[in-house]
Structure formats: C-alpha cells, structure tokens
Structure 1
C-alpha cells in the first residue's frame, strides 16, 4: 500500500495535537444518550423518538452515541498503550474510570436510594440487594440493575441502565492490554493481521472471545472499539478530507434500513468522528466547561428516573429538558471535584514512576 501524497493530511499528522474536538464530541454523544433514553424512561403514551424513523430500524440514537464513545476510546487508549506501556496505561485507565463511577454508585445507594425507596429505612439498609449494587463501582462484575423499592412505579425500575457499557469498556481495556503485552500491536503488519483475524474470528465464534464473548449484546460496542484501534494502527493511511467526509456522510445516511448497513456504517461513522475531531475548527471546551461528558453519561439515567417519578405525566422532551439541566450540574461537580483531581493524581503517580519525566497531559484529552 502506497502512502498518501505529502500534501494530504492524515490522522498521523495530528499525533500529539491537543487542539482537537474530542471533548465536544463526547459531550454531544453523552447528551444524545440522555435524549434517547428519555422516551423509554418517561414511558409517555403517544410519543416516539422521531429519529427512529430516520434510522429505519437499523439503529437508534443511543446506540450510535455509545458506539461513537467506543471508537474514540479504542483510538485514544491504543495510543496510550503503545506510547507509555502497560503499567502507565493501567494507571491511566483506572483513575479515569473508577473515581467518578464509585462516587456515582455510592451516591445512588446511600443518597438516592433511601430518598426514593418505598421501603422503610431499616428495610432498605438491611436488604441484600442494597449492598450488591455497590459492585457496579468495579465495572467488571455482573451488573446489578435495581435497588430495593426504588423506582418501582416508573416504566423502568433500573437505577442506572447506562452503566453496562462501562463493564464492556473496561473489559475491552483489559483485552487490549493483554494483546499489547504480546506485542501484537507494536508492529503494524502484525497488528493488521491480528485485527483482521480477530474480526473474522468474531463473526463465527464471538462467544469464544475472552472477557466479552459471553454476552452478545456487547458485540456491537466491542466492534467499534476494534475499529478505533484499527484507525490508530493505520493512521498514516487515513486521509482527512472534506470530500471523503461528505462521501461517508452519504453512505451512513443511505445505509439506514439496508442489509449492508452493518458493513458500511461502522467505518464511515468512525471516519466522520475523527474528521470532526481533527479537521473541523477547534472548539476548546476544556478551558471553559471542562470535560463533563463522563459525568453526563453516568448521571443522566438516575436523574431522568427522578424526573419521571416526580413528573409521571410529562413528555419525553420535558424529561430531556429537566434532566439536562440537573445532569449538567452534577457532571460539572463530578469533573471539578472528583475526576479532575483524580487525573492530577494520575500525573503524580506517573511522575513518580518515571522519576519526574512524564509527558504532560491536559485533562479531558483521553476518553473515559
């Protein structure tokens, strides 16, 4: 395969470029999940998501948003693993995921639960399921969906139905680290063969893939994670050009409702993400708002459940409006008082490991 002409901008030309739009893109994706969930959570009769007709039953907005998250994550964490090694990679991933998640889970159990349950305080705190829910903070075990007596009158009784994707993501991180330890990503020809072989293997034997294979629902986000990894490995061949972006946009749109959707949409959609991240005008949310996308994602569902319980006759759009306001506040608090300090701790740990020699990282660059 020949390299693009020198004048063409490829993904590799943006290595280390922190003037990207990943923070904005992740925020839009997180809000899209909130919007998409407002319809099943509110459960109002006569309302259907208008985007479903646009997608012609090929997908829905929440799935597209989650898949976008996984593609970005696969791309960025592959860079982290190859540039810094497995130990730094593990430290970075743990401190990005677990502090914010732990506070969210403990808040649901010890604040939201006692206020929202229809049980007495003694019944709630003596129930086994109350403490079983704390295992969600580890994001690797089987997910616990509900708390005793909480949201039982709502259309959905789950406390935070979005957290299952974090379990998939953490397991994808672990698989990637294992692959990296065997140097299967270090050399591009080997990495290309391995990624193609893994993709082909998953078509017929997905259930045999370690860590993620036992749940077919995890296959789609894992695929987008793999696409993100592949984009990073082959970044010197991926040209970012508006004509290609326009072609990918058209292919995405016309694939809805077609049998070839699942073959075309992943690569085209992921290309559009990276075009928007690097080739579009930079919008610096990190300096103004911070990277609140992770907080929006983990706090949206329980907030929407509270709105649905307080306003059972409201429309999904009302749920979206009130939940957006409250979730944004919680996400801002989470970023500034939990996630950002954790990232600072990460830098301290990495400096200790490298005796003060560590590449500077601006908060919000890496994917949650």
Structure 2
C-alpha cells in the first residue's frame, strides 16, 4: 500500500493516481473498524431503549413513565446514542470506497445487493410478525405497505417504514447511486476528491436553492459524513495531505452544524456540546484507523462482532421496545435493557449465520448468471 511522502522531494512529482487493485488480491482486514461499528450499533440500540425523548415522557408506551426517573445515569449517556448513526455514515463512506476499488459497476451493484437485502428482508418480516403478535406499542402497516418495504424504496414512494430505523437506508441508497458514477469512471485519488468537492458543494447549496430534486440527490443531512469517510479512506490508501485534511475539517464543521439541528428538530435530548464531543472522539478513532495506528489490533472476535452490526441495527428497535413494554415490570430496568440487547445480539448472529450468508450466496450466483446472459445477448 503506497503512501504520499510527508516531505516533498525537490523534483516535482505528479499527483497520486490510483492503479486498480487486482480483483483477486486479498485486502488486509481492519479489525478496529469492526469494533467501532458494533459500538456504534450498541449506542443506537441503548439510545432507543433508554435515551429518546419518547421514552422520557410520562405514560410513554415503552416504560410507562420517564426513563430518566427509572435510570437517570443510563438516560444521561443514552441520550447521545443517536450519534452512532452519523458514525455509520462515516464508516460507510470509508468501507464503500475501500471495497469497490478496482471493481466494475456490475461487481459494485452485486456486492451492495447481497450485503443489504438478505438481512433486511428478514428484518421486515420479523418486525411485522412481532408487531402483529404483540400490538399496542407500534402501529402496524397495511400488507401492501409491508410488501413495498421489501423493496427498500418505500421512502421514495412516501410510504412509512416498518421500523423507524430504516430511514438511514434511504440515505445509503442515494450515496451508492451517486458513487456508482465514480466507480463507472474508474476510482482514482483525483476522481474521489473531485466527487467529494462536487457533492459537498451540492449539499451546501441544496437547502438555500430550495430545489426538491437537488435536495433529494445532495442529501445535505448525511452527505458530509459520507464525504468524511471517503477522505479518511484516501488517507488510508495514499497517505495524508493538506487537501484531505481540509475535506475532513470541512466535513467536521458541517457535521457539527447538522448535529445541532438534529438535537433541536428531532432528538430534543442531550446538548450540542456533548454531541460534538462524542462525534469528535469517534472521528478521531476513524483517523487512527485511517493512519494505521490501529493495525496491531488483530482480535479475531471483532470479525464476528462486525458481522452482527447490520442485523442488530435492523431488528432491535420496534421489536425491542415492544419486548420491553411486556417485560418492564418483571426485573430491574437496567438488567432488562442488558438482557434485551443480549437477546438481539444472539438473534443477529443467527440471522448472519443462517440468513445473510446462505441467501447472499444464492442471490450472488443468480445475479452473476443474469449479468453474463445480458452480456451475451448484447
């Protein structure tokens, strides 16, 4: 893995250009990244169980009384757990850029389908079944809306999500669609930097332009987090330089603004200072990963931990809060939250082992055969 020199030689050197990685070359795994992903997922889950404005209201459907009265210390920290979503977006930018370097658009498309859909299909059906079996906490969707949720495109059709956490997938899908244009052109340092600058400019202009299509594409609420991840991966692959630090600094500055807006308009818990502090700590951890400071971490169990993240995120919220509603009077609240988390971690492992892996294999085989047929018939 090459790196830009920290001290420029006297002879002018050309800008770094990426050469496509060999498709068969195995990339070294960044174990620390798996650990950060799971930590972010656990933060989000604890937030939903014990840190949202909803669960802190008198007579709420989950705990029946303010969670800050039941476990004030847990609530104080859980109030910032939603920042795990922003960390997911940063990691997504890093991982997508890393995983599709040297790949064709077809390979990129197939990899995203088999990564996102198998666990998602299970989550939609599982959550729907839980809400049907245990009513009273969340409103159930009509069968046709549940079926539309299976496409993952329901937000584009104005249909509610089976589980509220699916809103992040709409941002992910738009990022993939945009980044596909760079994959199609061929990933290089220059093209990824240009993509970051153009997308960042569009995200900056979208709110004031008041053009719905531009705002839909630019996704100003999430774009700067993805851009931060892309810049961090370029640091990881090519080494640090002032341009990448500038992009990362701009992403942090725009991100802190979005964090404040989300507290004021959506979360209504925690403080801007606390949110910025938590986000900055996580971003510094990502910088450590990008610069190779965590390469010595080789704990094999982190691979398993990373594989649990996506299923856990998809299934924990609606089903978990419904379960808490039924069990809240049976044990200590903190013990209940820990038990529910443990149960969903175990279920997430089962989903990864017996749903994600086998279904992904079948879907990949079918898509590869379909694309070969398309090429043959062209």
Please, what TM-score do these two structures have when normalized by structure 1? 0.68
Matched-pair contact (CA < 8 Å) for 1:38–1:320: yes
In the alignment, which residue of structure 1 is the partner of 2:307? Answer: 291
Instruction: State the partner residue of 1:100.
Output: 119
Residues 31-46 of structure 1 aligned to structure 2 (within 5 Å): 31-39=42-50, 40=52, 41=55, 42-43=62-63, 44-45=65-66
Q: Deviations over 1:104-162 (max 9, x none)?
A: 102222x21331236xxxxx9xx97233133222222227547xxxxxxxxxxxx5221
What is the Cα deviation at residue 332 of structure 1? 1.3
Residue 174 (structure 1) shift: 1.2
Match of 1:322 in 2: 339
| Residue 258 (structure 1) shift | 5.3
Assess if the C-alpha contact under 8 Å between 1:292 and 1:328 holds in 2. yes
Match of 1:116 among 128, 134, 137: 134
Cα distance in 1 between the residues matched to 2:211 and 2:37: 28
Corresponding residue for residue 88 of structure 1: 107
Change (3 A) 1:209 1:353: farther
Structure 1 residue 208 displacement after superposition: 6.8
Distance 1:289 1:72, change over 3 A: closer
Matches within 5 A, 1:39-188: 39=50, 40=52, 41=55, 42-43=62-63, 44-45=65-66, 47=68, 50=73, 60-63=80-83, 65-109=84-128, 111-117=129-135, 129-142=142-155, 144-145=159-160, 160-181=163-184, 183=185, 186-188=187-189
> SS at the partner of 1:281?
coil
Given the superposition, is the C-alpha separation of residues 288 and 228 from structure 1 closer, same or farther in structure 2, using an over 3 Å criterion?
Answer: closer
Name the CA shift for 1:318/1:163 in 2 (closer, same or farther; >3 Å): farther
Q: Does the CA-based 8 Å contact 2:45-2:81 persist in structure 1?
A: no
Q: CA deviation at 1:292?
A: 1.3
What are the superposed Cα offsets for residues 177-219 of structure 1, whole Å, 9 maximum, x if unpaired? 13433x2x63323432341232133223257788782499x53
The answer as to whether partners of 1:102 and 1:137 remain within 8 angstroms in 2 is yes
Q: What is the CA–CA distance in structure 2 between the aligned matches of 1:136 and 1:72, rounded to whole Å?
A: 25
Alignment partners' CA distance in 1, 2:275 and 2:33: 28
Equivalents in 1 of 2:316, 2:109: separation in Å? 27
Structure with greater helix percent: 2
Q: What is the number of residues matched between the two proteins?
A: 310
Moved more, 14-23 or 220-229: 14-23
Q: Deviations over 1:50-77 (max 9, x none)?
A: 588679xxx82222x1122111211121
1:95, distance to aligned residue in structure 2 (A):
0.8
Correspondent of 1:303 among 313, 316, 319:
319
Matched, 1:224 2:245: no
Indicate how the Cα distance of structure 1 residues 346 and 137 shifts in structure 2: closer, same or farther if over 3 A, else same.
closer
Counterpart contact for 2:93–2:229, Cα < 8 Å: yes
Q: TM-score, normalised by structure 2?
A: 0.66
The answer (yes or no) to whether the contact 1:303–1:327 under 8 Å persists in 2 is no
- RMSD of aligned C-alpha atoms? 4.4
